[in-house]
Amino acid sequence: MTLLKTLMRARDPRKNVSPAMAATSQAEQIIAAATQEAKEILNRAHTIRSDAESALQEAAEKQQLLLQQALEEETRNLQKQAHTAISTMLDELKKETEGAVSSVVTDAGKQLDTVQHQLVATLALEQKKMQAGLEGVRRKKIHSLTATLQKEIPVIVKKVVGRSLALADHEALVREALDDAKHDTIWT
């Protein structure tokens, strides 16, 4: 049951004219206004949450792109280094083993292919890890933001309602609460 339904229950202030009832009615109106304000705060909170989520998503994508570019660059460098190293090795072998040049060339080509395959696999694995990491960070941020909102909104609403009530409203609410208490077995 919502707060409004709880507080507006089972009475029509227009039919009751006692000061207590009038005060209760006024209190209910104030609470209804505060509830409305709470809803507006809630709507704003949803917007903030949505904006924050978009901003986080955008930042994550940007970061991912930068990392991917860096990783690709690094891979290209590694490939280049591997190629140079193997070519040097090949040249040296050519000089040392005059009779078996063709077989050495074939082996060096296979090695180069293997290195390239390994680099591509490493790149894919790193990308996967990076995506999982960014998603974790994003979830954590959203969770923290939502938890803060969940904690803060009741505090704001309580302050608004508490400040809005006049002494007579407070007294009427206590009378009503004590009426409820009468039906419970508190003193056993």
Partner 1 sequence: MTTLYAPVMSVHEAQAATRRLQQAGKTLHQAHGKPASRLASVLTEVEYQQLKTQLGDSLDSMKPLEQALNGALAELEKRPRVLLELAFEPTHTFIAELKAWLTKHGPTPCLLELKMNPGVVGGVIVGWHGKRFDYSVGAKLNTYDEFPEVS
Which residues contribute to the site for partner 1 (CB under 8 A)? 1-3, 6-7, 27, 31, 38-39, 42, 45-46, 49, 142-143, 146-147, 149-150, 153-154, 157-158, 161-162, 165, 167, 169-171, 173-174, 176-178, 180-182, 184, 186-187
**Cβ nearer to partner 1, comparing 2 with 102:** 2
- Cα separation of 73 and 126, whole Å? 14
Could you tell me which residues come within 8 angstroms of residue 57 by beta carbon, excluding any fewer than 6 positions away?
138
Could you tell me which residues come within 8 angstroms of residue 56 by beta carbon, excluding any fewer than 6 positions away?
138, 141, 142
**Cβ nearer to partner 1, comparing 17 with 178:** 178
**Cβ nearer to partner 1, comparing 27 with 60:** 27
Q: Please state the closest distance from residue 154 (CB atom) to partner 1, in A.
A: 5
**Cβ nearer to partner 1, comparing 117 with 170:** 170
- Cα separation of 45 and 179, whole Å? 37
Could you tell me which residues come within 8 angstroms of residue 16 by beta carbon, excluding any fewer than 6 positions away?
22, 25
Q: Please state the closest distance from residue 34 (CB atom) to partner 1, in A.
A: 9
Handedness of CA 155, 158, 159, 160 (dihedral sign): positive
Token pair 């991912």 is at which residue? 64
Contact present, 34 and 157 (Cβ < 8 Å): yes
Q: Please state the closest distance from residue 17 (CB atom) to partner 1, in A.
A: 20
Q: Please state the closest distance from residue 142 (CB atom) to partner 1, in A.
A: 6
Nearest to 106 by CA among 128, 82, 90: 90
Q: Please state the closest distance from residue 51 (CB atom) to partner 1, in A.
A: 14
**Cβ nearer to partner 1, comparing 27 with 90:** 27
